[in-house]
Amino acid sequence: MQFESWQAFIEMGGYGFYVWLAFGVSFLAMGLLVVQGLRARSKLEREFVQEQQRQQRLARRQQEVS
Amino acid sequence: MTQPANWSALTAVMRRDLMVVMRRRSDILNPLLFILIVVSLFPLAVGPGPDILGRIAAGVIWVAALLSALLGSERLFREDYLDGTLEQLTLQPQPLALLAFGKIAVHWLLSGLPLVILAPVCALLLKLPIAGWSTLLATLLVGTPILSAMTAIGAALTVSLGRGGALLSLLLLPLFIPLLIFASGAVEAALVGTAAWPQVLLLAGLSLLTLLLAPFAVAASIRVSVN
Amino acid sequence: MTQPANWSALTAVMRRDLMVVMRRRSDILNPLLFILIVVSLFPLAVGPGPDILGRIAAGVIWVAALLSALLGSERLFREDYLDGTLEQLTLQPQPLALLAFGKIAVHWLLSGLPLVILAPVCALLLKLPIAGWSTLLATLLVGTPILSAMTAIGAALTVSLGRGGALLSLLLLPLFIPLLIFASGAVEAALVGTAAWPQVLLLAGLSLLTLLLAPFAVAASIRVSVN
Amino acid sequence: MSTLLDVQQLASQRAGRTLFADLSFTLNAGDVLHIEGENGAGKSTLLRSLVGLVELQAGTIRFFPEQLPFAQEWRQHTLFMGHKPAVKAELTALENVRLQAQLTAVANVDAWQLLETVGLLGLEDLPAGQLSAGQQRRIALTRLWYSKAPLWILDEPFTALDTRGIDLLQQRFAEHTAQGGAIVMTSHQALTWRPEQLKRIRIQGGEL
Amino acid sequence: MSTLLDVQQLASQRAGRTLFADLSFTLNAGDVLHIEGENGAGKSTLLRSLVGLVELQAGTIRFFPEQLPFAQEWRQHTLFMGHKPAVKAELTALENVRLQAQLTAVANVDAWQLLETVGLLGLEDLPAGQLSAGQQRRIALTRLWYSKAPLWILDEPFTALDTRGIDLLQQRFAEHTAQGGAIVMTSHQALTWRPEQLKRIRIQGGEL
Amino acid sequence: MWRWLHPYAKPETVYHLLGRWLPWVTAGAVLILGGGLVWGLLFAPADYQQGDSYRIIFIHVPSAMFSMSIYVSLAVAAFIGRVWQLKMADWALAAIAPVGAVFTFIALFTGAVWGKPMWGTWWEWDARLTSQLILLFLYIGVLALYYAFSDNRTGAKAAGILAMVGVINIPIIRYSVEWWNTLHQGATLTVFERPPMANSMLFPLLTCILGFALLAAALIFQRMRTEILRQELRRPWVKNVLQVSPTTGEQR
Ligand code: HEM
Ligand SMILES: Nc1ncnc2c1ncn2[C@@H]1O[C@H](COP(=O)(O)OP(=O)(O)OP(=O)(O)O)[C@@H](O)[C@H]1O
Ligand SMILES: Nc1ncnc2c1ncn2[C@@H]1O[C@H](COP(=O)(O)OP(=O)(O)OP(=O)(O)O)[C@@H](O)[C@H]1O
Ligand SMILES: [Mg+2]
Ligand SMILES: [Mg+2]
């Protein structure tokens, strides 16, 4: 363990701002990437369900017409 | 004829144009990226020495503004003309000048606004001294609407010619020159420490005047072109 | 399939495009004037100090080249796409890459050639020291065809989108950057008295390579877009 | 029977040729005016000059009710559709219909209903540019189903439509004239519907 | 009676809908194949997939004479005209005709003669964009008068034409088939001419 | 030679195959990268010149490394898609490009942040920095083109062409920038001169590099699965996959 205290760890020998900015933004970016990927997937599922419902609606209407 | 009808037509025109350009939400980024790229072209072209860069920074950002206005100019009316939308617009009960104003606004949203938003980043990339930042921002804010209005006039005049951008730029660039001189003059003034607000105020006045008159000029030009 | 038929189709494509742009003889001047105006914007934007101007001259002229290529890019395929000419071209017995080459050539004639012709005037306006003139001319001569070829690829890829220039510029500008760097570097080298020919030769090689490969990329892109 | 449009001694020249001269007609509520003529006779020019898209050589055009003084007012009483459909290829059918309605300041159209009427249900999410030629025309034609304008000026409305589409359109025409509207139209195809008050004008076209 | 085109088990999907499946037909010299169907049935898609503008889902298309091995070769034996006329609005009729002919590598067309044939004499110096809708179509149609391709694939060739124009075109069709050519076409208007070897195919369109 | 690939080239097979690997790769990525970072942040010694600021290296170097190799894989995928008409290779663009773009962004950002204490400036038109910026633009261009088309397949093909044109340009960009910069100014600002790295720093760095590789793989696999579904949305097999859990998305 390189750091004596929690405080020292945060300060990073005076470079805390830079180090944590770099790490923070990097993890934020990766987090967003992951979240976006998962959301794309669930959006696709939603679309799929909507599409199916629409097909059913259309089929029903077609039956009513004929 | 009533106010709400006018308003809804204005927003309809604007919404339609925006939707055509931005089919997807992510397309909003395109104009921003365009500006970033244009601005980063210059250091590559003239070399990275910070002293030179800083001195030409304001001019470069303003030239980027002109270019982004010009690049968006063809799309302003050309396709509307080809597919018949333009003639429908002239036949609407709403004043055509109002719809023309909508077009100008869209053009500004797609070319002027991104520049205003990105101005700090551009200034950083081009190493503009901090003293000039606020003035640069102010000139962009009041100046870019003039660009959009002028571009719209030129585009409306040339829409039926189908002759690419060269004629259009020819018409427009001389009109842009005073703008460029005032704007870069203002930033220069700020950098050397003299008062920049007279030029900025002048630009603001010009801007108001243009936005008031340009829609009528655009409307008249559209009517000529549709014939 | 025979040689003469290919040749006549190539010239037909080129003649048609040139005729559309130059319905009137006076239109030939437009690209020239466009370049002149862009170049004269810079002294206005950055102030007239000859030391700065001279140092950024080559870069500015090259940026003007990029812009004139970009401005002509929409007209390259868009109207052909809208009016059905593009699908007819893909159905011709001649290889589509050949016709694509014709398109590239026309684009160069309308955006690259004027710049080469006007380069001395531009150099004069921007106070480029004499030592750099011949190198500038050489880089323009071998470099602008690359611009036209790359622009054609981008334009062919985006032709069915109809979404203005922002996306296109986004695709193209990163591809233009090496060109910009090599070219302005070569002039710089000439100015400081070192040998510029390695870079010029490199550019010439790149140019040949691009002209050889680009028509196929353009043809593939057209086929994708027409679908 | 109220008059909607009165045209007197209209004349038009294009590129030096006289297309028509001394053309007069009156349109009453319920009228259908079919303008006939060969390709290039000047039919489109006539229709476009009625709405002011082409400058007139001579003649007067009066829209009724006349007390409406401004150009903007008669525009609300007229609907024009030319050769070009004014449909944006990049937008979906639904968006096209909605935005068109907002533009003509007709609030609260039921876009879904309109699409169903013209037979586009199920295709509302495709960009219009990917629809078939007839389907694109149908998008443009939805305007006829919500327009409140009494006077319709239609240039070749049947282009690209299949027979069912043409029937549908003629049904709508019948409704419109029955409600006191009037129609000026051109078509190279004969009407399969027989309007009660059908007028025909044949334009000869200029001598070449 | 030689075969010009043999199509087996063609299938096409667009945006997830099956437009047609298992479509087979053969075209012999002298045949006219009229493809029918409602708006959006898939007629244009079928014609475009015959010439390779649209990717096929399944099926084979064979052009004869088969010894021609390359795509470029059969292109010389096929003439396609779609919904869009490929006429440049900025160029005059004459220039349009000349350049089109050069592009298709047919040397020595008499452009004046062609313009006379389609009834555009006297208008050759106007930019095509200023001509009437039917006249612009006629410019595009001049290709039919000099094409040496035996197989014509025409999407709605009668659009915007007046009755005289349609007759003229059908005359040309008759000549072409008499000389051993074949035609695949779509049209919402019935043919007024009765070809000797008329085939019809009706496409139902996909279920929505 | 490509025959053996054929059974694997079926979208359905690939989808399930990726699904089987995904949990393992993800777990590996989290464990190894987490371990590497903890090692680097807490246990590795401070640099005698840069102090603790050097710890940025544990993200900067791996992300910079992979930002470029991912672009190469992008181009390889595009090439396969074009030459062997393998649709799925084109679709892979959509899975690979966003990951590459984010890695590039991270390398840029961490580099800029590191530059401030080390060089005293956030941004410098240095060769490496510039070419990294251009790389980011290239990624974004490919992505923008991919999603610009309403027809998914057309977009994939178009983006493939662009990716290939772009990769030809990468060495040229690299070379030009390198050469341009050294001409204009001396090597004052070359990426930092480091003493041969001590093992106590090197090993956590290598761990992080491995962790980033696994992370990239996991991200790409997940996205590829989504992309396959998007492209095949109307095929029957997708119905089976999606209807297992229509709303909650348990099947992911
Ligand atoms: C915006 C700024 C920066 C960018 C875009 C950037 C980009 C890069 C790139 C592309 C690499 C190459 C990785 C490889 O070749 O595999 C790299 C490596 C590296 N960078 Fe940076 N960098 C930046 C700033 C910095 C700063 C300020 C430092 C330290 C003072 C630094 C230290 C390093 C080190 C130590 C390596 C590994 C070198 C090697 O293994 O060859 N970078 N960086
Ligand atoms: N902008 C214009 N400038 C010059 N001449 C024009 C212009 N527009 C039309 N013309 C000419 O006027 C004539 C009539 O054109 P118009 O479009 O009215 O014909 P039309 O009767 O509608 O024919 P079609 O049945 O083909 O639609 C044509 O010969 C055309 O050349
Ligand atoms: N590029 C495309 N992408 C997606 N769907 C398409 C595309 N082109 C056509 N379609 C769909 O395929 C169907 C058939 O279109 P097509 O143009 O073949 O019809 P058509 O029979 O020619 O109709 P029309 O009589 O109106 O010309 C339409 O429903 C259309 O929406
Ligand atoms: Mg007409
Ligand atoms: Mg069709």
State the pLDDT at residue D208.
Answer: 46
| CA dist., res. B59 & res. B132, Å (int) | 12
H helices within E51-129, ranges in order?
71-76, 93-103, 111-117
Q: What is the CATH number of the domain that holds D176?
A: 3.40.50.300
Cβ(F132) – ligand 1 distance below 6 Å: yes
Structure-token pair, residue B159: 């829409």
Residue type, A64: E
pLDDT at residue F163 is higher than 50 = yes
Backbone angles phi, psi at E10, to 5 degrees: -70, 140
Structure-token pair, residue C205: 């090689």
Hey, is F50 helix, strand or coil? coil
Structure-token pair, residue E47: 């014609």
Local confidence band at B60 (pLDDT 50, 70, 90 cut-offs): confident
The answer to whether residue D93 sits within a structural domain is no
Local confidence band at D193 (pLDDT 50, 70, 90 cut-offs): confident
The lowest-confidence range among B10-19, B154-163, F67-76, F216-225 is B154-163
- On whether any CB of chain C is under 8 Å from the CB of F134, the answer is yes
**Tens-digit pLDDT profile for residues D11-54:** 888 877 888 888 899 999 899 999 999 998 999 999 998 888 88
State the pLDDT at residue D71.
Answer: 53
The answer to whether residue E127 sits within a structural domain is no
Of C111, C107, C126, C97, whose CA–CA distance to C220 is shortest?
A: C97
Distance C20 CA to ligand 4 centre (A): 24
CA torsion angle F194 F200 F206 F210 (round to 10): -150
State the pLDDT at residue F2.
Answer: 46
Per the structure, the count of domains in chain A is 1
Backbone angles phi, psi at D184, to 5 degrees: -110, 125
The Cβ of residue C215 has, within 10 Å, a number of other Cβ atoms equal to: 24
Of A40, A45, F233, D97, whose CA–CA distance to E17 is shortest?
A: F233
N- to C-terminal Cα distance for chain E? 40
State the pLDDT at residue B146.
Answer: 93
Q: How far is CA E5 from the centre of its chain?
A: 14
State the pLDDT at residue B163.
Answer: 59
Closest-CA residue in chain C for F152?
C224
State the pLDDT at residue F252.
Answer: 36
| Burial class for F141, CB neighbours closer than 10 Å (0-12, 13-18, 19+) | buried
Higher pLDDT, A53 or C28: A53
The answer to whether residue A35 sits within a structural domain is yes
Distance E130 CA to ligand 2 centre (A): 6
| CA dist., res. C58 & res. C187, Å (int) | 7
State the pLDDT at residue F190.
Answer: 45
State the pLDDT at residue B53.
Answer: 79
Per-residue pLDDT of chain E (208 residues; tens, 9 = 90+): 688 888 888 988 887 678 888 899 999 989 999 999 999 899 999 999 898 888 888 888 887 766 544 455 667 788 999 988 889 888 899 989 988 888 776 667 888 999 999 988 888 888 898 899 999 999 999 999 998 888 999 999 999 999 999 999 999 999 999 998 999 999 998 888 888 888 999 988 655 4
N- to C-terminal Cα distance for chain D? 41
State the pLDDT at residue C48.
Answer: 66
Closest-CA residue in chain E for D82?
E133
The answer to whether residue A41 sits within a structural domain is yes
Distance C162 CA to ligand 3 centre (A): 20
> What's the whole-model pTM score?
0.88
Cβ(E120) – ligand 2 distance below 6 Å: no
Average pLDDT, chain B: 83
Name residue D152's beta-bridge partners.
D79, D183
The answer to whether residue D192 sits within a structural domain is yes
- On whether any CB of chain F is under 8 Å from the CB of C191, the answer is no
State the pLDDT at residue D46.
Answer: 92
Contacts of B23 in chain D (CB under 8 A): 90
The answer to whether residue D109 sits within a structural domain is no
Average pLDDT, chain E: 86
Closest-CA residue in chain E for D190?
E163
| Complex-level ipTM beyond the 0.90 threshold | no
Asked if B touches A (at least 3 Cβ pairs < 8 angstroms), the answer reads no
Local confidence band at D105 (pLDDT 50, 70, 90 cut-offs): low
**B65 in Cβ contact with B112 (< 8 Å):** yes
| Burial class for C176, CB neighbours closer than 10 Å (0-12, 13-18, 19+) | buried
The lowest-confidence range among B117-131, B193-207, D93-107, F68-82 is D93-107
State the pLDDT at residue C208.
Answer: 94
Cβ(F64) – ligand 1 distance below 6 Å: yes
Which range of residues forms the domain containing residue A42? Answer: 6-65
Local confidence band at F142 (pLDDT 50, 70, 90 cut-offs): very high
Of F148, C153, C67, whose CA–CA distance to B30 is shortest?
A: F148
- Give the highest mean pLDDT range of C137-146, D114-123, F39-48: C137-146
| CA dist., res. C117 & res. E82, Å (int) | 42
| CA dist., res. B205 & res. A45, Å (int) | 53
pLDDT, average across residues D55-60? 84
Of B189, B172, B141, B198, whose CA–CA distance to B71 is shortest?
A: B172
pLDDT, average across residues A12-37? 89
B 81-110 → C contacts, CB under 8 A? 82, 110
Query: Closest Cα to atom 22, ligand 2: which residue?
Result: D44
In sequence order, the 6+-apart residues with CB closer than 8 A to the CB of A53 are none
Contacts of D126 in chain F (CB under 8 A): 150
Local confidence band at A65 (pLDDT 50, 70, 90 cut-offs): low
Higher pLDDT, C7 or F143: F143
The lowest-confidence range among C164-168, C178-182, D70-74 is D70-74
How close, in Å, is residue E82 to chain C by CA atoms? Answer: 8
Higher pLDDT, C88 or D63: C88
| CA dist., res. B168 & res. B152, Å (int) | 10
What are the angstrom distances between the C-alpha of C4 and each of C64, D151, E103? 37, 58, 12
Per the structure, the count of domains in chain D is 1
Sheet hosting strand D31-36, strand order edge to edge: D78-81, D151-155, D182-186, D31-36, D197-202
Local confidence band at C74 (pLDDT 50, 70, 90 cut-offs): confident
Residue type, C166: A
The answer to whether residue A1 sits within a structural domain is no
Percent of chain C residues topping a pLDDT of 90: 24
Contacts of D89 in chain C (CB under 8 A): 162
**F136 in Cβ contact with F166 (< 8 Å):** no
b/e sequence C31-45, b meaning 16+ C-beta within 10 Å: bbbbbbbbbbbbbbb
Compare CB distances from F249 to A19, A34, A42 and report the shortest one's residue. Answer: A42
The Cβ of residue F24 has, within 10 Å, a number of other Cβ atoms equal to: 11
Of F177, F24, B66, E48, whose CA–CA distance to E20 is shortest?
A: E48
Local confidence band at F244 (pLDDT 50, 70, 90 cut-offs): low
Q: What is the 3-state secondary structure (H, E, C) of chain B?
A: CCHHHHHHHHHHHHHHHHHHHCCCHHHHHHHHHHHHHHHHHHHHHHCCCHHHHHHHHHHHHHHHHHHHHHHCHHHHHHHHHHCCHHHHHHCCCCCHHHHHHHHHHHHHHHHHHHHHHHHHHHHHHCCCCHHHHHHHHHHHHHHHHHHHHHHHHHHHHHCCCCCCHHHHHHHHHHHHHHHHHHHHHHHHHHHHCCCCHHHHHHHHHHHHHHHHHHHHHHHHHHHHHHC
N- to C-terminal Cα distance for chain F? 33
* Residue with the two structure tokens 């090599």: C182
**Tens-digit pLDDT profile for residues F68-82:** 899 999 999 999 988
Of C144, C179, C156, C132, whose CA–CA distance to C225 is shortest?
A: C156
**B116 in Cβ contact with B140 (< 8 Å):** yes
Contacts of D90 in chain C (CB under 8 A): 161-163
pLDDT, average across residues C36-61? 78
Query: Is there a contact between D156 and E160 if contact means CB atoms under 8 Å apart?
Result: yes
Which range of residues forms the domain containing residue D188? Answer: 3-88+148-202
State the pLDDT at residue D122.
Answer: 80
**D60 in Cβ contact with D7 (< 8 Å):** yes
In sequence order, the 6+-apart residues with CB closer than 8 A to the CB of B100 are B152, B156, B214, B215, B216, B218, B219, B222
On the CB side of B207, CA atoms within 13 Å amount to: 19
Contacts of B226 in chain D (CB under 8 A): 53
**B78 in Cβ contact with C214 (< 8 Å):** no
The answer to whether residue A25 sits within a structural domain is yes
Higher pLDDT, F236 or F107: F107
pLDDT, average across residues B4-17? 78
**F43 in Cβ contact with F204 (< 8 Å):** yes
| CA dist., res. B140 & res. B58, Å (int) | 10
**D123 in Cβ contact with E207 (< 8 Å):** no
What are the angstrom distances between the C-alpha of C166 and each of B32, B149, C149? 9, 19, 19
Higher pLDDT, C107 or A7: C107
State the pLDDT at residue E107.
Answer: 65
Q: What value does the CA radius of gyration of chain F take, rounded to a whole number of Å?
A: 21
Distance E83 CA to ligand 2 centre (A): 20
Percent of chain D residues topping a pLDDT of 90: 38
**Tens-digit pLDDT profile for residues B43-59:** 888 776 667 777 788 88
For an interface test with D, the pick among F150, F153, F154, F233 (most D C-beta atoms closer than 10 Å) comes out as: F150
